[in-house]
Amino acid sequence: MTEPCTYVIFGATGNLSRVKLMPALYHLEAAGKLPAGTRILALGRRRWDREHCVEEVREWLKEKVRGSLDDAIFDRFARRVDYFQGDLKDPKMYTDLGRRLDDSSEFPPNIAYYMAISPSEFNGVVDRLGDARLFDEGPGWKRVVIEKPFGYDLESAQSLQRSIGRHLREDQIYRIDHYLGKGTVQNVLVFRFANTMMEPLWNRNYIDHIQITHSETLGVGSRAAFYDGTGAMRDMIQSHLLQLLTLVTMEPPVSMAAEDLRDEKVKVLKSVRPISPKAVHAHAFRAQYREGRIGNDRVAGYLQEENVPPDSVTETYAALKLYIDNWRWRDVPIYLRTGKRMARQQSLISICFRHPPQQFFRGTQVERIKQNWVLLGIQPCECLRMEMTVKEPGLEMRTRQTSLDASLRDEDGADTDAYEGLLLDVIDGDRSLFLRYDEVEQAWRVVDPILRSWSTNRDFIHTYQAGTWGPEESRRLFDTEEHHWRHSLDPD
Ligand SMILES: NC(=O)c1ccc[n+]([C@@H]2O[C@H](COP(=O)([O-])OP(=O)(O)OC[C@H]3O[C@@H](n4cnc5c(N)ncnc54)[C@H](OP(=O)(O)O)[C@@H]3O)[C@@H](O)[C@H]2O)c1
């Protein structure tokens, strides 16, 4: 079994720790996956002690665990938890922390520092940990988990990397994108590389276009202060959707080892055709939700949300058309879109195949044969569906769409949370589902021209009614009149 480690969680009193990290660690405890001796040192500035921290965690878990909280498992889990009080900005805190960790009878010397703190603090905390020699290895490895976003644009990502690179080797840095921890996202790789059937078809000769959609029904809620400075392009497209794009379009890697996998993902991002400032209008679209209805509830528009400036042009909807200039994909349009307050909560990859080269059934009821689609549902329904055209029974030549359905899990099925697998990967030293720096940098290169253009064009933004699929005008991105947004798994 893997050696035990100490998880030092910076920002352990915050939201991420409450809703994701502590529940994930508890579930790992329940599954018997945490190596014996593993400890969790929760670090916060609140004047808590260990007992208070454990009680808080118990309350968080009551709300968040699958099923109900098991007292025996919680007691085992609680014995691993300790609390360390300090201010991130105080250099003395780091020497005190070092002394506390040095008591190796208590804390294993393998240490994973988890940055569950504001991105503006990543740099300073890594600097201070480095200055206090808390990354020195031997005994034990030292690793750092960095939450997204890694940078705010290309320049800030480069600067953050330069700064943390002074203290850490690349193999010590775990840049997390929890989307990659989702089972279905990994299933994209299985679907592509464990089934030979699809591989000969997976290219520009057979595929007409690809769509990747992540839609949410939620608005910005209490996160407006953060969101207004970020927007949908940074929050979703630069990270999650470009990651999905790489998995769908990459070449088969030499092996599933982290570096081989990441080499192929980077090649895709490097092959994305750059969008010149003049082409931004044709390739990217942004919009903001106005008031509308989600189910039976009337909901406010973005500009009416708390903490949103009345003249904000931050996009809550973003759509993007990309081309990958390589042998496999040249000239196949790839449409990415994401939005808040949309008609449905889902993530879906839709692959549309070309029309058959000849329309054989002219002069019959079948005027035009529909295109085949392969649909990969990421959430809430984890599934894989292939749509085909078949003849209806009877004397007449009529067709209908049917689908081969390989559902993995329905909307209600219990599953592990992405953070569980990722937290374990950090202990195991498996970086395949974490982002290497060149991936992050290339992803910023893809969206940077758009962000620059949008930041200077602040006079106008399209709007869409909350609860809809976004503005009709986004159709301007389509290569042909025939293309349309694929909204759901249901037959088109
Ligand atoms: N929340 C999510 O679901 C989510 C999802 C994906 C990524 N992320 C990323 O995760 C990170 C954390 O997000 P979050 O939502 O958890 O933020 P948050 O709720 O604001 O938590 C921030 C944490 O940092 C602590 N902190 C701030 N200044 C400090 C200081 N000077 N000294 C010591 N501690 C200090 C806060 O302590 P106090 O409690 O004392 O204020 C709190 O524990 C961010 O990088 C975010 O982008 C979050």
Check: CB of residue 150 under 8 Å from CB of residue 441.
no
Tokens of 252: 């088969």
Q: Are strands 346-353 and 207-215 parallel, antiparallel or unpaired?
A: antiparallel
Give the residue whose CA is nearest to atom 18 of ligand 1: 14
Token pair in block for residue 258: 């982290």
Asked if 370 contacts 389 with a C-beta cutoff of 8 angstroms, the reply is yes
**Do 125 and 191 share a domain, yes or no?**
no
The residue nearest atom 29 of ligand 1, judged by CA position, is: 88
pLDDT of 413: 56
DSSP 424-490: HHHHHT--TTSB-HHHHHHHHHHHHHHHHHHHH--S--EEEETTBS--GGGGGG-SSTT------SS
309 alpha carbon – ligand 1 mean position (Å):
23
Mutation pick for ligand 1 pocket among 20, 45, 146 (CB with most ligand atoms within 8 Å): 45
DSSP 324: B
Residues 345, 396 within the same domain: yes
Identify the active-site residue in 214, 240, 283, 487.
Answer: 240
**219 lies in the same domain as 138:** no
Residues 360, 223, single domain; the answer is yes
Q: Which residues lie across from 409 on neighbouring strands? A: 382
Q: What was the pLDDT predicted at 399?
A: 86
Check: CB of residue 440 under 8 Å from CB of residue 175: yes
CA 429–ligand 1 middle distance (angstroms): 24
**Position in ligand 1 atom list of the atom nearest CA 178:** 6
Distance CA 350, CA 215 (A): 14
pLDDT for the residue numbered 183: 78
Clarify whether residues 16 and 91 are in a common domain. yes
DSSP 180: G
Q: Under a CB-based contact definition with an 8 Å cutoff, are residues 207 and 201 in contact?
A: yes
276 C-beta neighbours (distance < 10 Å), count: 11
- Residues facing 112 on adjacent strands: 7, 143
Long-range contacts formed by 77-82: CB under 8 A, 24+ apart? 77/25, 77/26, 77/29, 78/54, 80/29, 80/34, 80/38, 80/39, 80/40, 81/39, 81/40, 81/42, 81/50, 81/53, 81/54, 81/57, 82/39, 82/40, 82/41, 82/42, 82/50, 82/53, 82/106
Q: Which two tokens stand for residue 89?
A: 């900005």
| Strand, helix or coil for residue 23 | helix
- Domain of 31, CATH number, reads 3.40.50.720
Distance between CA atoms of 358 and 129, rounded to whole angstroms? 65
Residue located nearest, by CA, to atom 2 of ligand 1: 16
Same domain membership, residue 189 and residue 325: yes
Tokens found for residue 20: 């994701």
Please report whether residue 160 resides in a domain.
no
- In angstroms, rounded to a whole number, what is the distance separating the alpha carbons of residues 114 and 111? 10
The Cα 443–Cα 258 span in angstroms is 18
Q: Is residue 487 part of a domain?
A: no
Q: Whose C-alpha lies nearest to ligand 1, atom 10?
A: 116
Q: Is 240 a catalytic residue?
A: yes
Alpha carbon dihedral 57, 58, 63, 65, in 10-degree steps, equals 90
Ligand 1: distance of its center to the CA of 36 in Å?
28
Mutate to test the pocket of ligand 1, among 41, 117, 177 (most ligand atoms within 8 A of CB): 117
Q: By the 8 A CB rule, do 4 and 42 touch?
A: no
Choose which residue among 8, 15, 22, 48 to substitute to test ligand 1 binding: the one with the highest number of ligand atoms within 8 A of its C-beta.
15
pLDDT value of position 356: 86
CA of 304 to the centre of ligand 1 (A): 25
* Within a domain: 171: no
- 241 with 353, same domain: the answer is yes
Give whole-number Cα distances, 76 to 8, 32, 234, 426, 455, in Å: 18, 11, 40, 21, 51
Q: Do residue 78 and residue 223 come from a single domain?
A: no
Structure tokens at 332: 């196949």
The span from the CA of 156 to the CA of 149, in Å, is 11
Residues 136 and 197 in one domain: no
Instruction: Give the residues surrounding ligand 1 with Cβ less than 6 Å away.
Output: 11, 13-16, 19-20, 44-46, 87-89, 116-119, 147-148
User: pLDDT means per 10 residues in the chain (492 residues)?
Assistant: 92 96 97 96 97 98 94 97 97 96 89 96 97 95 96 97 97 94 83 90 97 97 91 96 97 94 97 97 98 96 96 98 98 98 96 87 74 92 89 87 79 76 96 96 98 95 98 97 92 73
CB of 351 within 8 A of CB of 207? yes
For ligand 1, atom 24, the nearest C-alpha belongs to 11
pLDDT for 184 equals 74
Instruction: For residue 483, tell me if it sits in a domain.
Output: no
For residue 411, what pLDDT is reported?
58
Residues 384, 253 within the same domain: yes
For 400, list phi and psi in degrees, rounded to 5: -145, 165
Domain boundary among 147, 165, 190: 147
Write down the pLDDT at residue 249.
98
What's at 128, amino acid-wise? R
Q: Which atom of ligand 1 is nearest to the CA of 119?
A: 45
Atom 15 (ligand 1) nearest CA:
15
149 CA closest ligand 1 atom index: 47
CA of 19 to the centre of ligand 1 (A): 12
Q: What tokens does 187 get?
A: 């299933």
Choose which residue among 8, 9, 10, 16 to substitute to test ligand 1 binding: the one with the highest number of ligand atoms within 8 A of its C-beta: 16
Ligand 1: distance of its center to the CA of 185 in Å?
26
Neighbouring residues of 480: CB distance < 8 A, sequence distance ≥ 6: none
Query: Is the domain of 134 the same as that of 212?
Result: no
Is residue 82 in a domain? yes
Domain housing 57: 6-147
On whether residue 320 sits in a domain, the answer given is yes
Residue nearest to atom 9 of ligand 1 (CA): 147
Q: Whose CA is nearest to atom 41 of ligand 1?
A: 14
How far does residue 308's CA lie from ligand 1's centre (Å)? 20
- Residue 383, domain member (yes or no): yes
Centroid of ligand 1 to alpha carbon of 87 (angstroms): 13
Are the CB atoms for 378 and 411 separated by under 8 Å?
no
Cα 348 to averaged position of ligand 1 atoms, centre (Å): 29
**Best of 22, 88, 97, 118 for a ligand 1 pocket test (most atoms within 8 Å of beta carbon):** 118
On whether residue 153 sits in a domain, the answer given is no
CA distance 352 to 483: 10
Tokens (6 digits) for 176: 């997390």
Contacts of 148 (CB under 8 A, 6+ apart): 175, 176, 177, 239
We report the CATH number of the domain holding residue 281 as 3.30.360.10
The protein residue whose alpha carbon is closest to atom 21 in ligand 1 is 14
Looking at the structure, tell me whether residues 122 and 232 fall in a common domain. no
Number of structural domains the chain divides into: 2
Give the pLDDT confidence score for residue 490 in this predicted structure. Answer: 83
CA 307 to chain centre: 25
